[in-house]
Amino acid sequence: MISTTVLLAVLGAALLHAAWNAAVKAQSDPLVGMAWMSVASGVAAGLVLPFVEVPVLAAWPFLLVSTAVHIVYFLWLAAAYRHGDFSRVYPIARGGAPLIVTLASLVFLHEDLDDRALVAIGLILLAILGVAWRRADAHRGLRDRSLLFAGLTAVTISAYTIADGLGGRAAGDPISYAVWLFFLDAWPTIAVILWLRRGRLARVPGGDIAKALTGGLLSMLAYAIVIWAMVHAPVAIVAALRESSILFGALIGVLVLRERPGPVRVAAIILLAAAVALLRLA
């Protein structure tokens, strides 16, 4: 079972995850926002480094792979938010990732799936189609780009999820692994964005910088809460509860970003959150 404290903590982490993504979406240039967010998480992780162990040698290949994947993830996520609604991109990216991980484990690791998992996979596919659906006369080019980058973002999420899962096990200490990961992936991400957005980082409005810096700290806090929760409750339940971020993301899109998703997308988002939770529990 799961205590009320852990339940509320995981739901809070899901809200924080949706919030930092919304902070990126709200930027005038989401890619520049990613750079400032990385500054915050990189500095914060650097301050914590002296208090955690250095990961063992076996964990470093996974750390390096995850760092490389995270750079691509930031680029594609920023592109998705630049071209699409938050209430559309975020559910597809978050909901598609566990689906890809599950299918990869089925194909490459030859893991067995029970009937509940197969039903969940079918529901996720149906829900993603519902989230992606839009009337044929509505901004066709914009739609195609947002779907493309949201799908690619889901691929990178699944890739670093697998790498970090293996890396955390190899390290033996998931907290030190996470701190080093935040520190390592921040600086090359900043360097790549500095190259892509030459001279633009210092020219963004102060409000955008503040939102991005806050988003970077929120991302670290959300990750730390989930790690803590997995120590005090079953991992499957924590992972399933974490997918409530899809619903929080939809609410933020409507209430904060003033988006107006139609009834089909709203129903699909609810179905997607439930189906992903079912897949996690399966």
Cα distance between the two ends of the chain: 16
Task: Read off the tokens for 85.
Answer: 């609604």
Q: How far is CA 53 from CA 50, 57, 78, 175, in A?
A: 8, 12, 32, 9
Q: What is the pLDDT of residue 16?
A: 94
With 0-12 / 13-18 / 19 or more C-beta atoms within 10 angstroms meaning exposed / middle / buried, residue 114 is exposed
The C-alpha atoms of residue 58 and residue 243 are separated, in whole angstroms, by: 30
Task: Read off the tokens for 236.
Answer: 């499957």
62-88 burial: b if 16+ Cβ within 10 Å, else e: bbebbbebbbbbbbbbbbbbbbbbbbb
Q: What is the pLDDT of residue 136?
A: 43
Return the CA Rg of the chain.
Answer: 18
pTM: predicted TM-score of the whole model, two decimal places: 0.84
- 76-266-237-110 Cα dihedral, nearest 10 degrees: -60
- Residue corresponding to tokens 């893991």: 111
For 114-178, the DSSP string reads -HHHHHHHHHHHHHHHHHH---TTS-HHHHHHHHHHHHHHHHHHHHHHHHHHHHHHHHS-HHHHH
The C-alpha atoms of residue 79 and residue 83 are separated, in whole angstroms, by: 6
Q: What is the pLDDT of residue 65?
A: 95
Q: What is the pLDDT of residue 137?
A: 43
Q: What is the pLDDT of residue 110?
A: 66
Q: What is the pLDDT of residue 211?
A: 86
Q: What is the pLDDT of residue 51?
A: 94
How many independent structural domains does the chain possess? Answer: 1
- 180-64-212-191 Cα dihedral, nearest 10 degrees: 120
The C-alpha atoms of residue 75 and residue 152 are separated, in whole angstroms, by: 10
Q: What is the pLDDT of residue 117?
A: 75
Q: What is the pLDDT of residue 174?
A: 83
Q: Domain range holding 227? A: 4-281
Q: What is the pLDDT of residue 111?
A: 64
Q: What is the pLDDT of residue 141?
A: 47
The C-alpha atoms of residue 229 and residue 237 are separated, in whole angstroms, by: 10
Q: Are 281 and 236 in contact (CB under 8 A)?
A: yes
Q: Are 131 and 88 in contact (CB under 8 A)?
A: yes
- Residue corresponding to tokens 């409507």: 254
Q: What is the pLDDT of residue 109?
A: 63
The C-alpha atoms of residue 188 and residue 46 are separated, in whole angstroms, by: 14
**Beta-strand (E) ranges in the chain?**
none
pLDDT tens per residue across all 282 residues of the chain = 678 888 889 899 989 999 999 989 988 889 998 999 999 999 999 999 999 999 999 999 999 999 999 999 999 999 999 988 898 899 888 888 878 877 777 777 666 767 787 788 888 888 887 887 665 444 454 446 888 999 999 999 888 888 888 888 888 888 899 899 999 999 999 999 999 988 777 777 778 888 889 989 999 898 888 888 877 877 667 777 887 888 888 889 888 888 888 888 888 888 888 888 887 776
